[in-house]
Structure 1
Amino acid sequence: MAKLYFRHGAMGSSKTANALMVVYNYYERGKNALLVKPQLDTRDEGVVRSRIGLEQKCRYVEELVQMEDREIQEYDCVVVDEAQFCKKSDIEFFEHIVDDLNIPVICYGLRTDFRREPFEGSIWLLAWADVIEELKTVCWCGDGASCNTRFNEKGEIIREGAQVFLGANDDYVALCRRHYKAGNLGPQIRK
């Protein structure tokens, strides 16, 4: 029985690396996994790339929802990176793939933004996913980190602005809630 998975974690919890490993595991077993990401993620066009250097070509969620069922049935699994950027209708389509085509859909993404507010895709995945798993990472203090913290070039935490600002280690760091609320980025940020 196929399931809809939501594997979420703060920045730096290896979500993309995990997604790429899942795709590779399917490949190793002679299976086909379709890797997709929303077009809103413009950092690497047509590619999913992790911070540790793993990468693979991908298609877009917007292409997936236009595919015929018979095309989707050529795949044994659908893996979605940056699922927080999906729309409610995309998550409904993922349910169709799981329920009607019996193909698992594994979504990776952030639960909340830098203001600790949920993304649209994450809201519906948290509501409808069959399996919800947190990928862990740590704050500079060693405690678990769950807050995606945006900061500027002066090392100051940014608490206002557009929800979507594509960046990486130069713009975001994961903090525990205590240090997020205190505005404490820690002794150093590794870039």
Structure 2
Amino acid sequence: MKTLRASTYKRMPWKNGGGETVEVAVFPAGASLADFDWRVSMATVASDGPFSSFPGIDRTLSILQGKGMRLMIEERDPVVMTGESAPLPFPADAATSATLVDGPIVDLNVMTRRGRLTHSVKRLALDHPQTMECTAKTTLVLCHRGAVRLTTADATADLAAGDTAILEAAADVTIEPAASAVLFLIAIDKAAA
């Protein structure tokens, strides 16, 4: 289990230059926006406008801060995303634009290369310890609010708000919130052949 601290995340401009992204983790390490297999990032959206297009990429978006935004995704009905909404998967190469509900937001983006990898994102609100079976090749646990302790058979990690733990193998993980906590559980696996 590897721990990533929020203070060490890489800041970079959006692909379309319209804002700033905080890169939580990318694989392979050091990969660019054109050649990553998977990428987890947070972006501040301060104005209405189009999303960057990522050919051959699948994306899941969640709202971390702010009142939310209305997403217009090609060939889909418009949807309003808030901090309470379930994470929304969609193709990152579909024409997509956003209109802010009431001021800037921060979103969480999980992206994987289509045909090579798949991913899922779950938002968890915990107020008591819980053990989860993580079966994916790679699992990321991002602590959004509060603080938690993660324990596996051979490792322990304490996460404050914004920190992330990465597990590179299947494991049972016990998650103990300090009081109450909100987490995002991100599972990344090989695509079916």
Greater relative contact order structure (CA < 8 Å, 6+ sep) = 1
Bigger fraction of residues in helix: 1
TM-score by length of 2: 0.29
More strand by share: 2
